[in-house]
Amino acid sequence: MRSSILIVVAIACMRVGLAHAADSDADRLREALRSATLQTRQLEDQRAALQAKLADAEKERAAAKVQIEAAKAETRRIEKRERETTDEFNRRLAERDETLEKWKAAYEEAANVARDRDTARAKFEAEAKAYKASADSCVVKNTQLIKHGRDLLSRYQSVTIGDTIVAREPVLGLRRVEVQNAIQDEQDKILDQKVAP
């Protein structure tokens, strides 16, 4: 009996030990479960926070992508406008250069025409001055010729028959020499009034 008591006691002790060990394992398991649940909740909270941050980051990335695309489109639009403006400026510059060359050519032509006209005017003025001087000289010489012509006419009209007979007197011929000298003087005066061509 003693052995059965011992067995019962041993079984009881075992039971108590097992119960105690079971209580101790259960407590430990409960504690581990609580700790695991708490860690799971914390991890779930962290996961939710990270997912929220990820969602925000995705939204920001999408917004940034839209902004980048808009900026690229704006850059392309500005580059296109700048190219068009540069092309327009270059076209206008080329037109201005072409117009300037035409004006230069026209100015040179006008300057040449003006120089030619000035040269021609100076030549014509010199010729006109020479013709005026020649005409004035001709007027003076013509006046002298008229005067000499009148003198000759008045001498011719004043010649009498006696003067004619004396002028033809054949013996001494003094009067004839005098008449020939007068004719020669009048001829010299007329030749002095001749205009050189």
pLDDT in tens, 124-182: 889 888 888 878 877 887 788 788 777 877 777 777 776 666 666 665 666 667 777 87
2-6, 94-98, 154-158, 193-197, range with the lowest pLDDT: 2-6
Cα–Cα nearest to 28, from 139, 73, 53, 20: 20
- The token duo for 172 is 């001494």
* Residue scoring higher pLDDT (119 or 158): 119
pTM score, two decimals?
A: 0.38
Arithmetic mean of pLDDT over the chain: 81
Whole-number Å distance between alpha carbons of 176 and 178: 5
Q: What is the residue whose two structure tokens read 């000759």?
A: 152
Per-residue model confidence (pLDDT) at position 76: 93
In order, the DSSP letters of 65-76 are HHHHHHHHHHHH
Kindly compute the dihedral angle of the four CA atoms of residues 128, 129, 130, 131, in this order, to the nearest 10 degrees. 50
* Residue scoring higher pLDDT (23 or 19): 23
Residue-level length of the chain: 197
6-15, 130-139, 184-193, range with the lowest pLDDT: 6-15
Confidence category of residue 195, pLDDT binned at 50, 70, 90: low
> Other C-beta atoms within 10 Å of 148: how many?
17
Whole-number Å distance between alpha carbons of 109 and 156: 67
6-20, 47-61, 139-153, range with the lowest pLDDT: 6-20
